[in-house]
Amino acid sequence: MSWQEQLVEAGYRLTRPRRIVMEILNNARAPLVPSAVFKRAQCDGHSLGLVSVYRTLALLLELDLVTLVHFSEGCHAYVLASPGHHHHIICSGCEEVIEFSGAEDLDALTARVQQETGFHIDDHLLQFYGLCPACQQAVAKKIS
Amino acid sequence: MSWQEQLVEAGYRLTRPRRIVMEILNNARAPLVPSAVFKRAQCDGHSLGLVSVYRTLALLLELDLVTLVHFSEGCHAYVLASPGHHHHIICSGCEEVIEFSGAEDLDALTARVQQETGFHIDDHLLQFYGLCPACQQAVAKKIS
DNA sequence: TTCCTAATTGAAAAAGATTATCAATAAGGA
DNA sequence: TCCTTATTGATAATCTTTTTCAATTAGGAA
Ligand SMILES: [Zn+2]
Ligand SMILES: [Zn+2]
Ligand SMILES: [Zn+2]
Ligand SMILES: [Zn+2]
């Protein structure tokens, strides 16, 4: 199913601004922040409001037609760091964060991806999201 | 080595604002955005400028005394999504992004972490960073 | 302890990013 | 073609982050 069909399927209209944004993302090699999409539209001679860019991206994200890419900077919630390499699990209920180590577990995957893509991988970002034991209980109580 | 010693070691002074921020992060259960650190300082009756919070967090990050936690929202660089579950490698040189699949490879790790922590994991964020083949060559040429 | 100097702070302002509002527009069906 | 309603875009309002610069203060020297 094409993205146009998915849009319509979900009850949205196929509009000019949405076409423009999709076209720009489609031609982009690197991930684009909203302002970059806006600028590119201007360069291409398209008339497109910045607000529409925000709205369109939010919609496309909701429909899973685009994905977010996270850079190291720009996501500013901070936790204390223990020495050494760690990853985090974040509870969707209470935002509690727990560290865990497990770099080795990524080694196989890293090697495979390096081989397949030719990239030289030197860093990674791994986080799990879920419910902590307390929030699991809270949910269980609410249901029962 | 304590964080105080690390600071001094790196040539920085041990100041009141830095102590306050570290204390707040130390007592926090959830990750805190700068404005949250600021508010908490105010509640605790500390006098601390918002700008200093930003500066201090940046410094602590540089010294690896704090880590960033990424939420799904708030990191707004978008790429087109293919259907299905994917991860991304981002080239630090040219920002090119490539998708790869490999959800299965995380299954073992997910299971282990669930067991160890009691969390119920329902989502994850995995990204690799590195150099694409083209940028590797560019680097190689520069050196030679 | 006291003094000095340079690092650091904080207030204010500037710059940027995001969201809310609402009249004007245009997509898609009748 | 016409109508209805989703959608757009300009403006303004909010937030967030960065810059600037005079006032403060940490930490070493005297
Ligand atoms: Zn929880
Ligand atoms: Zn890791
Ligand atoms: Zn590259
Ligand atoms: Zn995944």
**Is the Cβ–Cβ distance between B124 and B106 less than 8 Å?**
yes
Query: For B69, which of A33, A88, A94 is closest by C-beta distance?
Result: A88
The answer to whether B127 contacts A29, with C-beta atoms less than 8 Å apart, is: no
Interface test with B, best of A60, A80, A139 (most B CBs within 10 A): A80
User: Quick one: which ligand is closest to B97's CA?
Assistant: 3
Q: Which pLDDT score, from 0 to 100, does residue A8 have?
A: 96
pTM over 0.85: no
Distance from CA of A64 to the nearest CA of B (A): 7
Is B98 near chain A, with CB under 8 Å?
yes
Q: Report how far residue A56's alpha carbon sits from residue A52's, in angstroms, rounded to the nearest whole number.
A: 6
Is B126 in contact with A60 (CB distance < 8 Å)?
A: no
**Å from CA of A32 to ligand 2 middle:** 25
**Calpha distance A28→A18 (Å, rounded):** 15
Residue % of chain B over a pLDDT of 70? 89
Distance CA A73, CA A60 (A): 23
Which chain A residues are Cβ-neighbours of B25 within 8 angstroms?
78-80
Q: Measure in Å the smallest separation between the Cα of A79 and chain B Cα atoms.
A: 5
Is residue B102 scored above 80 in pLDDT?
no
For the segment A17-62, what is each residue's pLDDT rounded down to a tens digit? Answer: 999 999 998 888 777 889 989 999 999 999 999 999 999 998 998 8
Contact assessment for residue B75 and residue A75, using Cβ atoms and an 8 Å cutoff:
yes
pLDDT tens for each residue of A76-119: 455 655 667 788 887 777 767 788 887 677 888 899 899 999 99
Output the pLDDT for position B77.
55
* Backbone CA torsion sign across B21, B26, B27, B31: positive
Q: Which residues pair with A98 in a beta bridge?
A: A89
Instruction: Provide the CA B86 distance to its chain's centre, in angstroms.
Output: 21
Interface residue A126 vs chain B (CB under 8 A): yes
Phi, psi at A83, each rounded to 5°? -60, 145
Q: What is the distance in angstroms between the Cα of A101 and the nearest Cα belonging to chain B?
A: 9
Tell me which of 3.40.50.300, 1.10.10.10, 3.60.20.30, 3.40.50.10330 is the CATH number of domain A1-81: 1.10.10.10
Within 10 A of B8 (CB to CB), how many other CB atoms are there?
13
Residue type at position B127? Q
Ligand nearest to the CA of A117: 3
Specify the pLDDT at position B76: 46
| Structural class in CATH, domain B84-144 | alpha beta
Q: Which of A102, A109, A129 sits opposite B124 (nearest CB)?
A: A129
The answer on pLDDT for A2 being more than 70 is: yes
CA distance A7 to A19: 11
| CA B132/CA A4 separation, integer angstroms | 32
Which among B113, B116, B89, B118 has a CA at the least distance from the CA of B101? B89
B78 pLDDT band (50/70/90 cuts)?
low
The full set of domain ranges for chain A reads 1-81, 84-144
Chain segment B20-54, per-residue pLDDT in tens: 999 998 888 777 889 999 999 999 999 999 999 99
Confidence of residue A130 (pLDDT cuts 50, 70, 90): confident
- For helices B50-62 and B16-27, angle between their N-to-C axes, nearest 10 degrees: 80
Taking CA atoms, B107 is separated from A124, B103, B127, in Å, by 17, 7, 16
| Among the ranges given (A38-47, B97-106, B111-120), the one the predictor scored with the smallest mean pLDDT | B97-106
Q: Indicate whether A63 pLDDT > 60.
A: yes
Please tell me the distance from the alpha carbon of residue A31 to that of residue A29, in angstroms, as a whole number: 7
SS3 A131: strand
Q: How far is the CA of B39 from the C1' of D23 (A)?
A: 24
Does residue B140 have a pLDDT over 70? yes
Predicted local distance difference test score (pLDDT) of residue A76: 46
